[in-house]
Amino acid sequence: MEITLKNGDKLTLEEGATALAAAQAISEGLARSAACARVNGVLVDLMTKLSDGDSLEIVTIKDKEGLEVYRHTCAHVLAQALKTIYPTCKLAIGPVIDNGFYYDVDFKTPITIEDFAKIEAEMKKIIKSNLPIERFTLPRKEAIALMKGYSEKYKVELIEDLPEDTTLSFYKQGAFTDLCRGPHLPSTGRIKAFKLISIAGAYWRGDEKKKMLTRIYGTAFAKKEEMDEYFAMLEEAKKRDHIKLGKELKLFALLPEGRGFPFFLPNGMTLKNILVDYWRNIHRREGYVEVQTPMIMTRTLWENSGHWEHYKDNMYTTKIDGEDCAIKPMNCPGGMLVYKLSPKSYKDLPIRMGELGLVHRHEKSGQLHGLMRVRCFTQDDAHIFMLPEQIEEEIKGVVRIIDEVYSLFGFKYHVELSTRPEDSMGSDEDWNAATSALKKALEDLHLPYEVNEGDGAFYGPKIDFHLVDAIGRTWQCGTIQLDFQMPQRFDLEYVGEDGEKHRPIMIHRVVFGSIERFIGILIEHYAGKFPVWLSPVQVKVLPITDRAAGYAQKLTDEMNAQGIRAEADLRKEKLGRKILDAENEKVPYKLVIGDKEMEEGTVSVRRRGEGDIGSMPKADFFALVKKENDEKVVF
C-alpha cells in the first residue's frame, strides 16, 4: 500500500502496517522520538493501522501535541501507581495542562506531599516494566459495566452523561485500564523524566456542591536536562513572585475585605499611571480618540450584545429602579452606543476609539491569583470602526503598536489565530470572511502563527499575542478580534460613497490586556527591578550627616520639580543601613550626600547592580536621569 507523507512524498508499506512502522521506515531516529501520528488530519496512536491512500504525519515529542501525549501517558502511569498503592481510591479525571498534568482522585485516607516518594517509586517500576499500552473500544452500556466492575464511580458518571449510541475508548497497560480518548505512547517505557510537583483540593466537576477530591500535579519531559531546566525556572519564578514583590515594594495589597479586588498603593498607582500615560501618548499619536462609558448598564443592552446569553455567569448583576442591570464585564457594548450618537459617513472611517475601562468579571475564589486573576481590572480597550477595504491596513496598524510596546519592555512574542468556537453567533459567511481577513493580514506581515481551533470570541475570530518573559514563561496579553456581529446587533451604519447606508466592520483590540495583570507580569519579568522610566521611585537621596540633611531635601525637591521621582531618606540610621534598604526597594539610583557634596554642589552616585559610579555635578546627574527616563532606557 502507498501513503502520503506531510511533505508530499509517497511511502510504500506492507498492508496493515502501523504508523510506528511507517516512522521506522523513514528513520529509526524519527521512530524513537515519535509520540503519536496524524492520519488524514486526525491525531492517533502510533499503533494505529494504516490504509492505502492515507496521509500521514509523524508527531514527535518536540511538537506541542506530542509532548501533551507524552505527559498524558505519564498521568496514566500515575493513576496506575495510585491504584496499586491505594486500591480503594477512585479515579476522576487526569488531563494535560500547561507544563504538565494532574489527576483528581478520591482517597479514603488523605495523602500528603510526603507520600510522593513512594508514588514516584511505583511509577518508576511501571515505566521500567515497559508495559505495552493497548487501545480498545466498547459501546456505552458495556463501558458502564466495565467501570462499575472496577468500582470507578466517577468514570461511570462521565459515561452515563453521554448519548446511548456512544462508543468509548479505553487504554490498558498491564493490569490497569482507564477510560480515555487518547492517543497515548506505545508503551510506558517511553517516559524518561517525570516529577510529582504539588497537591491541592479540587471539587468534582468544578462544582462547589460536589465532593472535594485530591488533585495531584506532575510534569514530564523527554530528557532529565529539560526537566532540571524547568525546575530551575520555577525556583527563579518564586524569587520573582509578583505577590511577594508587590508587598515588599509597597505596590498593591490583597485584603480579605475585597477578595479579587486589589488595593493599589501610592507606588503602585505611580507605576500604573506611567503605563496609562504611555498608552495615551502612543494612541494619540496613532489617531485614536478616548471615551469613557458607564460601568453599569441595563439588561437590554447586554441582551442585544449577546453577553446576557453567552457570558451571564461571569457578570455581576443588580437592579436599579426595578430594572435588571449588569456591571460591565467588557467595554464594547458601550462603545457601540457612542458610535450611534451621531450619523457617520464613509469619510469619517476609520474611527479608532480607545477606552481605559474598569470591568468586573465573576471569578471563582479558587481561581484568584494576585494581579494575574482578579475580579476587576482596567482593560486598555479600543474599538476600530472601518470600511471593509480598510480591514487589512487597520490590523497591520494594531500589530505595529503591539510590537512597539512589547519590544520596549523586552518581550518576544508568538502569535495564535483563534477560530470559531462552538458557542458562537453569526453566519458561516461572516465567520469565513473574518477569519480569512485575519489570515491574510498575518501572512502579508510575514508573521508566523499557529491556529488555535475553536478558541475565538463568541462574536468573531481573533489574533492572540503570547509574550515571553525574562525566564521563558508565556503570557497571553494582546488580542485583535474581528467582529461582523456587534455592528449588526446594534444596527451601526454609515453612509457610503453611493449615498446608501452600509454596515461598518469592527475590530476589538487590547495591547496590555489588563493593566493590572500586565503590571504583575512586569514585576516578575524585571524581578521588581524596573527600568528608570517605570520605577515609582527613581532616586533615593541618602545624607550621611545631620548637616547634609538639608541639602539632601533640597536636592530631592529640585528633582521632583524637574519631573524626577525622588525621595530623601532622613532617618538617623547608618549609611550602610540606608543603602541596603534602598537596594531592597530596588531603587535605580542612590545619591550619597555628605559635607563634601554639600560644599561642592555635587552628588556621589550609586547605580543599582553596579554600586558606586563616582561623583558628578548635580546638573549632570539630573540630565542623566531625565535622558534615561525620556528615552525609556533599560539597564
Of the listed 180, 332, 376, 477, which one is catalytic?
332
Question: How many Å from the N-terminal Cα to the C-terminal Cα in the chain?
Answer: 62
Residue pair 199/79 in contact by the 8 Å Cβ criterion: no
Residue pair 385/349 in contact by the 8 Å Cβ criterion: yes
**Which has the closest alpha carbon to 556: 522, 581, 587?**
587
For 527: left if phi > 0, alpha if psi spans -120 to 50, otherwise beta; the answer is left
Q: How many residues can be counted in the chain?
A: 635
489 is catalytic: no
**Which has the closest alpha carbon to 386: 297, 480, 517, 273?**
480
Write phi, then psi, for 290 (nearest 5 degrees): -110, 140
508 is catalytic: yes
Beta strand pairing status for 474-483 and 462-468?
antiparallel
Cα separation, 432 vs 436, whole angstroms: 6
Residue 573 corresponds to which cell in the numbers above?
A: 540610621
Write phi, then psi, for 215 (nearest 5 degrees): -105, 120
Residue pair 302/260 in contact by the 8 Å Cβ criterion: no
Residue 61, Cβ neighbours under 10 Å: how many?
A: 23
Of the listed 80, 173, 379, 538, which one is catalytic?
379
Residue type, 296: I
CA torsion, ordered 614, 615, 619, 622, to nearest 10 deg: 40
Of the listed 381, 430, 469, 569, which one is catalytic?
381
80 is catalytic: no
What are the beta bridge partners of residue 457?
460
Helix (H), strand (E) at residue 83: helix 64-85
Residue 105 corresponds to which cell in the numbers above?
A: 482522585
Of the listed 508, 540, 565, 586, which one is catalytic?
508
What are the beta bridge partners of residue 351?
385
Radius of gyration of the chain (CA): 29
Of the listed 184, 383, 590, 618, which one is catalytic?
383
420 is catalytic: no
379 is catalytic: yes
Of the listed 83, 90, 155, 361, which one is catalytic?
361
Give the residue numbers marked as catalytic: 332, 361, 379, 381, 383, 462, 508
